[in-house]
Structure 1
Amino acid sequence: MSRHARTDSAHISPSAHYTGYVWYRHQLADPAFATTFGRWVHGLLAPITWGARVGFGLDIENFLLQRHLLIDARLTAAIEQGGVRQVVEIACGLSPRGQRFCQRYPELRYLEADLPAMAARKRLLLHSEGWLNGLHQVQSVNILAEQGAQSLTALFAGLDHNEPVLVITEGLVNYFERPVIEGFWTRLAQQLNQFPQGTYLTELYPDLREHPRYRQLRWGVGLVGRLTRGNYPLHYRNAEEIVAAFSNCGFRATQVLDPSEHGAALGLPPMSLPSLVRVIEARV
């Protein structure tokens, strides 16, 4: 792997502290998931997020809740209606989803995975609270590794290949340029094809030029890039481009879900503007 690729993969972990604190603030996470660093970053960005909300109607935390709760809803449906009993959450960061769903569904096998440093931190957090067991585990992975102990092949090796599997990535895709993330999707589809049913849930921020706050969105994207010391590319213009990309990567059926159409069911307040985020449900 090139030095550039290694550097890119390191950009993601700091944002995990911020989102972890957001989940805690909105009563989606136990206090154990709220870190001092996450609280500090949230306070640091508070004037900017307030200005975006008051001045332009762009509520950054609401966007995060839209994607998080819609992914939760699709995961719930997959478990209760689709018979899914094993879940892999890649780039898990400080997401509380594994702990919440393992408590709700004690028979669920939940494998969380992230870069080694973050995986070690998450493992320690879950272990210290008594949440880790034989069904809920944490493993290291690097989505850019094509082989070796941190590859997708190693990550999926211990799962039951006779049972359906569902994979989640949240807050990951838009940190990478399109060729890199599509390479990951292609390798992921190859892994999912080894199961009787494979589903992938993720989120994307498309390049919605028709959105009434597009100029402010581009400014926000630039800000995220500076804060994470990298780019934050918007890969696709619309749902058709997203579906085509997933098809080219080996997924046979892809749904592009707009949280604006599911807000009431998710318990979100009415949206004054169209959502900027899309949740993707892709199957092999």
Structure 2
Amino acid sequence: MSRAARLDSAHITPSAHYTGYVWYRHQLAEAPFVTAFGRLAHGLLAPVSWGARAAFGLDVERFLLQRHLLIDACLREAIEQRGVRQVVEIACGLSPRGRRFCARYPDLRYLEADLPPMAARKRLLLHEEGWLSARHQVRPVDILADQGAHSLSALFSGLDAELPVLVITEGLVNYFSLPLIETFWTRLAAQLRPFPSATYLTDLYPDLPEHPRYRQLRWGIDLVGRLTRGRYYLHYRGDPAIVDGFGACGFREVRVHDPKELATAPADAWPALVRVVEARI
């Protein structure tokens, strides 16, 4: 793996602290998920967020909540309707999802994974709160590693290949160029094939120049790129292109979810900018 690819893997983590505080603010996470850096970053960015809402109608926290709650809804449906009992959340950061779902579903096994420094931090957090257990664990992973202890194959080797599995990535894919993230998706699809059924859930921001807020979105993603010391890419020109793209990576059935599907979604004058992709093997 090239040095550039390693840097692409490494620059994402700062945003985990910010989103961790957002989840806490909206009563989706308990206080231990809050970091001093996350609280500071949220405070420093508050004027920028206010300006984006006032001037452009862009609400960053609303985007974050849309994708988070929609992934939660898809995960609940998979557990309650399709019998999923093991979940892998890659690039877990400070997401409280594993804690919430393990508390709600006593038979669920939840494996969180992230780059080694963040994985170590998350493992310590869960351990100190008494939440780490045989069914809720944290492992290191680098999605760009094609072999070795931090590869996808090493991560999935500890799962029960006779049970359905569901994999989640949130706030990850748009940090990578499309060819690079499609390489990950293709490798992920290969890892999921041995399971009797497998589902992948991810959020994704498509490239929609016709969207009435497209120019403002481009401004917003340029800001995100500067804050995370990297670029932020938009992928695919609409839902049909998303379906075709995931199909080419090895997923058999692809459904694209819009945040307006949520029962709690408010009436909005503008189409949503984010999508949640549900891809099955």
TM-score, normalised to structure 2, is: 0.98
Paired with 1:88 and 1:271, the residues of 2 have a C-alpha distance of: 33
Aligned equivalent of 1:203: 203
Displacement over 3 Å in runs of 4+ = none
Contact 2:259–2:265 under 8 Å retained in 1: no
Tell me the percent identity.
73
Map 1:62-73 onto structure 2 (within 5 A): 62-73=62-73
Cα deviations by residue, 1:99-118 (Å, 9 ceiling, x for unpaired): 00000001100000000000
Give the letter for the 1:56 counterpart: F
SS of match in other structure, 1:88: strand
Cα deviations by residue, 1:8-34 (Å, 9 ceiling, x for unpaired): 111110000000000000000001001
Aligned equivalent of 1:172: 172
Contact 2:189–2:249 under 8 Å retained in 1: yes
Aligned equivalent of 2:17: 17
Cα deviations by residue, 1:136-169 (Å, 9 ceiling, x for unpaired): 0000000000011000000000100000000000
Paired with 1:271 and 1:142, the residues of 2 have a C-alpha distance of: 37
Map 1:128-139 onto structure 2 (within 5 A): 128-139=128-139
Deviating more after overlay: 82-91 vs 205-214: 205-214
Aligned equivalent of 2:119: 119
SS of match in other structure, 1:4: helix
Paired with 1:10 and 1:270, the residues of 2 have a C-alpha distance of: 37
**Structure 2 unmatched ranges of 5 or more:** none
Cα deviations by residue, 1:44-79 (Å, 9 ceiling, x for unpaired): 111111111122221110110000000000000000
Of 264, 280, 283 in structure 1, the residue corresponding to residue 280 of structure 2 is 283
Give the letter for the 1:70 counterpart: L
Aligned equivalent of 1:269: 266
Cα deviations by residue, 1:224-274 (Å, 9 ceiling, x for unpaired): 1111111101021101111111011000110011112x24x1x24332321
Paired with 1:91 and 1:48, the residues of 2 have a C-alpha distance of: 26
Map 1:55-134 onto structure 2 (within 5 A): 55-134=55-134
SS of match in other structure, 2:67: helix
SS of match in other structure, 2:82: coil
Map 1:184-223 onto structure 2 (within 5 A): 184-223=184-223
TM-score, normalised to structure 1, is: 0.97
Paired with 2:6 and 2:207, the residues of 1 have a C-alpha distance of: 26
**Structure 1 unmatched ranges of 5 or more:** none
Paired with 2:68 and 2:267, the residues of 1 have a C-alpha distance of: 17
Cα deviations by residue, 1:85-137 (Å, 9 ceiling, x for unpaired): 00000000000000000000011000000000000000000000000100000
Give the letter for the 2:270 counterpart: L
Contact 1:57–1:273 under 8 Å retained in 2: no
Structural RMSD (CA): 0.8
Aligned length: 281
